[in-house]
Amino acid sequence: MNNYQKHLQQIASLKGRPQLLIHICCGVCSVYPLQYLRRYFDVTVFFSNSNIYPYEEYEKRLGALKQYLTYLNDDSIRLIEDRYDNVSYMKDLSVFKEEPEGGKRCKLCYEKRMEKVFAYAEKHNYDYCTTVMSISNRKNANWINEIGEKLQKKYPGTTYLYADFKKGDGITENDRLNKELQLYHQDYCGCIYSMR
């Protein structure tokens, strides 16, 4: 098993401030990763989450992210909102609707969203890309980083930033800041199957 936290700590030796495109799934998961990464990168946030159901929930999560970005008061962080299309997005996932949470459906969902990040990053010449999803105790950081490694081969123009943001007190700091900021906190991962 890889020590993805060790991989992440190597960014302290980067020269200059590379461009990073980071996939964010919700405001709650963005808190610690953005605090950490903006020290080393020029950060662009990519909100691509057509898995979230219903649309009102999607808006709440996007709203929490915007609230946090306002709190950071960092004009250098840009936000890009991808087009929301839950119906098309869920076609592939519906095959695995009976899978338990954390199974094949979730792995496919990680990959679909991460591929959008890679495609956008390569098209727009970002140096690095990553996702905040590894901050969650409910998400498999090994799968997320294996997917990142696989997609980097498909999109060689952008380097994948390995991470397990929950390590090194990341989850503790994330929880502390979320309580302090009182950001909206969802009670399910996102798709209609996780909601049920």
C-alpha Rg value of the chain to the nearest Å: 16
Task: Tell me which CATH code domain 18-195 carries.
Answer: 3.40.50.620
What is the per-residue pLDDT across 139-159, written as a single tens digit (0 to 9) for each?
999 999 999 999 999 999 999
169: exposed, middle or buried (C-beta count within 10 Å: 0-12, 13-18, 19+)? exposed
Phi, psi of 63 (to 5 degrees): -60, -40
In this predicted structure, the answer to whether residue 168 has a pLDDT above a threshold of 90 is: no
Share of the chain above pLDDT 70, in %: 99
Query: What are the sequence ranges of the domains in the chain?
Result: 18-195
pLDDT at site 4: 85
Query: pTM for this structure?
Result: 0.96
What is the per-residue pLDDT across 2-13, written as a single tens digit (0 to 9) for each?
788 788 888 989
pLDDT at site 135: 95
Q: Kind and range of the H or E element at 37?
A: helix 27-37
What is the per-residue pLDDT across 38-76, written as a single tens digit (0 to 9) for each?
999 999 999 999 999 999 999 999 999 999 999 999 999
Contact 131, 96 (CB under 8 A): no
